[in-house]
Structures are given as C-alpha cells and as structure tokens.
C-alpha cells in the first residue's frame, strides 16, 4: 500500500518532469525519487511514466491517475487538519511578488502567524505568470499576484486585495537632459522598462498606449525595485506601480509625476484553486485585507 509521501512524490515528478527536479522539491536525491516511483508502480502493478535519459513523462495510465491521487492527498491533508484541532496548522506553500513581500502582505502573514503558531508558511518570491502555473498544478497553495491580462483557467480563483496607481518616476539629479513636459520626458529621456512579457509589463504598455508616445528604450528589467534603484542613481526614468512600501513623496533622489489623462492601476490579489485544502488560510488573508 503506497504511503501519502509516495503519492506526493509521484505528483511532484508529474509536475516537474524529472526525478532530479522533483527531488529538489521534496528534499530527496533523484535516485531516491526513482526508487519511490518504482515502488509505487510495483504496488499498483502498472507503469506510470515513459522514461528517457532526460525526463520522466507521464503515460496515459499515469495521467489518468492524477485526479484520483490529488484527491487522496487533499483528503489526507484535511484529515491532518481535523486531527490537529486547528484548521490553521501544518505547512502552507505560497508565492508572492517581491513588492508585496516588502509591503502589506508581509504584515498580513505576520498577523496570521501570531494567531496560529502551529502554521508553517513556506514563502517563495517570483513573478505572477510563473505563480499562476504553479498554483494551477498544485505546487503552490496560493500566490499573491498582479491581475492577469489574460483569462485564467476555470480551476483558478483570483480575489483582489489592493491596488496601486501607475506613476512616472524621474531622478532629481539625472545624467541626461530632462525636458519639462510629460510627453517630451517620455519621448527623449532614457526609459527603464519593466519586462514587457510580464503582467506588470502589460500595464506599463497600457500606460504608454494611453499617452500615445514612443519611448526612448534604454533598459528592460524584471524587478520594480531594481528599476527604482537605477532611477534614483540618475540613469533613466520609468513607469512603475506606486508601491506602498516605497516612500516616493519624501525620497530626495526621485521626483514623481502623475500621468495626465491616464487611468491604469495595478491590481494585486490572491490566486488560489477553486478547490483546495487551505481555504482557511487563504480566507484569513482575504479577511485581513478587507479589515485593514
């Protein structure tokens, strides 16, 4: 009879595609993961993966078993919670934008942990688009992400938590000539663009489309914090969300200019599956933001 741990390892291999990657997730060597998978196949008397030198790809039998095994693991996790006498206990794995971790979301986690000391939170920083896939396949219980510019899978639920206006930031001591007018600034000053392939990058492009200007591209980065740092040092301008954790008003190295005629905000929310075993935790996060 396979153990819950073995079933979880099977799901990790199915999601990661290799024994080595799955082993990194669960803290085992690739060889140990392989032994667990062979033991599971022996117990079930079926082959679950088509193996080659580089990958372990689910065969039709393995794919058919995914929903059943996910349901078994989910029910076991619910049983663990019930046995512990506290529906906010055990391990939760959640992803979050770096900017969210530096602001109100960190406060929310601290508050929840204070009230539920048996809760063990594993926190991963990253990008919204990557987190969406990880939540969908169950690698993450939830994630704090920007609102997607594309329709989400029907198995996912996104709940808004807070929003931030998009603003134009400029250095107070630039290494270049800074025109006085907004349109001229955007056209001629070196522009630090947030990665256009990301969800926040789509918002930046929406702003530029509303401004109807072609910017002077200087650099493209995937970190709002890095962009702010470069603008502070005088290397360019940028359009970024007005992060709650950055005191733009009193920052002597940065000047903020509201964007005339632009109505674009970055909406940040909680992404989770429509059915999962950690609804008490995600509910507590949503309640925190609603209350504060």
Same domain, 145 and 170: no
pLDDT at position 55? 77
pLDDT at position 233? 96
pLDDT at position 83? 57
Q: How many residues belong to the chain? A: 292
Same domain, 72 and 211: no
Same domain, 156 and 273: yes
Who contacts 201 (Cβ-Cβ below 8 Å, separation ≥6)? 193, 194, 195
CA distance 79 to 9: 19
> Total domain count for the chain?
3
Average pLDDT over all residues of the chain:
87
The label of the residue with tokens 């954790």 reads: 245
pLDDT digits (tens, 9 = 90+) for 234-261: 999 999 998 877 888 889 999 998 888 8
Beta strands at 265-273 and 156-171: parallel, antiparallel or unpaired: antiparallel
Same domain, 14 and 148: no
Same domain, 108 and 173: no
Helix axes 60-84, 4-16, angle to 10 degrees: 130
Same domain, 130 and 181: no
Same domain, 133 and 273: yes
CA distance 84 to 220: 48
pLDDT at position 78? 67
Same domain, 108 and 189: no
CATH classification of the domain holding 43:
1.10.10.10
Same domain, 146 and 226: no
Q: C-alpha distances in angstroms, 107 versus 101, 104, 118, 223?
A: 9, 5, 18, 21
Same domain, 152 and 188: no
pLDDT digits (tens, 9 = 90+) for 81-128: 555 545 577 778 899 988 787 667 888 888 888 888 888 888 888 888
pLDDT digits (tens, 9 = 90+) for 8-54: 888 888 888 888 888 877 777 888 888 989 999 999 899 998 877 57
Q: Which domain-ending residue is among 84, 99, 122?
A: 84
pLDDT bin (cut points 50, 70, 90) of residue 287 is very high
Q: Which domain-ending residue is among 84, 107, 142?
A: 84
Tokens encoding 241: 């969300």
Q: Show the CA angle centred on residue 103, arms to residues 102 and 108, nearest 5°.
A: 110
pLDDT bin (cut points 50, 70, 90) of residue 2 is confident
Same domain, 260 and 272: no
CATH classification of the domain holding 184:
3.40.190.10
pTM of the predicted model as reported, rounded to 2 decimal places = 0.70
Q: Which domain-ending residue is among 43, 66, 84?
A: 84
pLDDT at position 91? 78
pLDDT digits (tens, 9 = 90+) for 126-148: 888 888 888 887 778 899 999 99
Show the domain range for 151. Answer: 90-161+267-291
Same domain, 157 and 278: yes
Sign of CA dihedral 183, 226, 202, 276: negative
């Amino acid at each position: 009879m396979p153990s819950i741990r073995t079933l979880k390892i099977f799901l990790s291999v199915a999601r990661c595609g290799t024994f080595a990657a799955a082993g990194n997730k669960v803290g085992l060597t690739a060889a140990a993961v392989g032994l667990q998978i062979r033991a599971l196949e022996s117990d079930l008397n079926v082959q679950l993966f088509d193996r080659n030198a580089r990958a372990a790809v689910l065969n039709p039998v393995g794919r058919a078993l995914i929903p059943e095994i996910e349901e078994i693991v989910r029910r076991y996790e619910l049983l663990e919670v019930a046995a512990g006498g506290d529906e906010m206990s055990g391990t939760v794995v959640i992803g979050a934008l770096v900017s969210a971790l530096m602001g109100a979301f960190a406060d929310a986690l601290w508050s929840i942990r204070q009230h539920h000391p048996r809760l063990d939170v594993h926190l991963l920083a990253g990008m919204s688009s990557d987190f969406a896939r990880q939540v969908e396949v169950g690698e993450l219980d939830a994630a704090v992400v920007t609102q997607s510019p594309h329709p989400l899978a029907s198995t996912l639920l996104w709940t808004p938590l807070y929003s931030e206006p998009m603003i134009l930031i400029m250095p107070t001591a630039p290494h270049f000539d800074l025109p006085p007018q907004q349109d001229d600034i955007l056209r001629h000053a070196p522009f630090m663009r947030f990665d256009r392939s990301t969800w926040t990058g789509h918002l930046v492009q929406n702003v530029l489309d509303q401004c109807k200007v072609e910017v002077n591209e200087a650099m493209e980065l995937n970190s709002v914090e890095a962009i702010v740092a470069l603008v502070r040092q005088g290397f360019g301008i940028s359009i970024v969300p007005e992060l709650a954790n950055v005191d733009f008003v009193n920052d002597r190295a940065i000047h903020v200019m509201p964007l005339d005629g632009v109505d674009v905000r970055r909406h940040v929310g909680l992404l989770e599956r429509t059915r999962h075993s950690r609804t008490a935790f995600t509910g507590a996060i949503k309640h925190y933001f609603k209350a504060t």
